[in-house]
Structure 1
Amino acid sequence: MKKVLFLIAQNNYQPLEYAVPKDILESAGIKVVTVSNQVGIATSTGNYSLTKVDLSLENIKMDDFEGLFIIGGVGAVEYLDNEIVYNLLKIWQKTGKAYGAICISPRILAKAGVLKNKKATGWNDDGKLEDLLLENGAIYNNNSVVVDGNVITAAGPASAEEFGKEIVKVLQ
């Protein structure tokens, strides 16, 4: 059985961006392992959902997983400028495995340097995403979901279903 990692913030992850793609992947026979800063319980934005965190960032064994996807929500900014996450993403990119992000989280991919020469999208309500992507060598695309090779990015909760379906396609 294929397994992927969904990286969520310990506090204030976006519940639809997590639950909808997770259900789609699991329906396709792909196991989703939830990772965060620490094992335990993560809390969604607005305290709507509590999610069991299966694995901490420090305990990821890359060989066990086919993909790494960062879920959005206001709490995801804790992974901006996070060297552990950046190093994981750089290693992931070198291996050719699938990776991606939804909502605000494509900014993490860009700042980690793993979107160079890749088309990407994300949450842009503040008008800063396009410049951030360009500054980091990525190509901004305002579609709701963008797939460029093994990289999948999505704009936000409204694109969560399509994000999940595209992850399944890339992993098949």
Structure 2
Amino acid sequence: MKILCAIAPARFRDEELLVPQQTFSDADVETVVASTHTGTCEGMIGATAEATVSFADVSPADYNAIVVVGGIGAQDVLWNDAELKRLVQEFNGAGKVVAAICLSPVVLARAGILPGREATVFRSPASIREIEKGGARLSERPVVTDGNVVTADGPSAAEEFARAILSLLL
């Protein structure tokens, strides 16, 4: 079992990567960190993570799920990343788990996989507009699972988010 964790190269939300990674590790699930390019990525509150693969070099066949981490870097970089959008579409098309937390559910909306689905997001005027524009039914719950898609609204939901992902995989 292997999960791809997609993060922005700068200003990803630390807990939204680290808490799920620990939860996955505790369940003997491997994680691989990907970003726009390989190398050291910096979190919003001081954590660092090594991206060992770039989005362009990911083969969805090698993974059971993709988890898109939030933070302001998600809005700055990931919302408009064509390679990440392609990955989200491919994972979803293969029926694999697609998950996003905080500001990153907008990536799912822009990838076109949310029409008719219930989803949540960290609430900002831009994120709410994008989720609704993407055809989702916006929920106020901190974690929402709709089919193979899991969304969460921010760092305080990180552990529940990780458990929801595992419940679809194990």
Q: Scaled by the length of structure 1, what TM-score is found? A: 0.94
CA distance in 2, matches of 1:110, 1:121: 11
Q: Which residue of 1 aligns with 2:64?
A: 66
What CA deviation, in whole Å up to 9, does each residue of 1:97-149 have, x standing for no partner?
Answer: 0011000000111111111111100100x244333222211111110000011
CA distance in 2, matches of 1:51, 1:134: 32
Kindly provide the amino acid, as one letter, of the partner of residue 160 in structure 2.
E
Q: Which residue of 1 aligns with 2:140?
A: 142
Q: Indicate how the Cα distance of structure 1 residues 128 and 10 shifts in structure 2: closer, same or farther if over 3 A, else same.
A: closer
What CA deviation, in whole Å up to 9, does each residue of 1:12-62 have, x standing for no partner?
Answer: 11000110011001111110100001111111113x111111211111011
Q: Which residue of 1 aligns with 2:33?
A: 34
Kindly provide the amino acid, as one letter, of the partner of residue 158 in structure 1.
S
Q: Which residue of 2 aligns with 1:102?
A: 101
User: Any unmatched runs of 5+ in structure 2?
Assistant: none
Identity %: 30
Q: How does 1:15-164 map to 2 (within 5 A)?
A: 15-46=14-45, 48-77=46-75, 78-124=77-123, 126-164=124-162
CA distance in 1, matches of 2:83, 2:130: 21
Q: Post-superposition shift, 1:85?
A: 1.3
SS in 1 for 2:22: helix
User: Any unmatched runs of 5+ in structure 1?
Assistant: none
SS in 1 for 2:80: coil
CA distance in 2, matches of 1:122, 1:136: 12
Length, aligned pairs only: 169
Kindly provide the amino acid, as one letter, of the partner of residue 25 in structure 2.
E
CA distance in 2, matches of 1:143, 1:38: 33
RMSD: 1.1
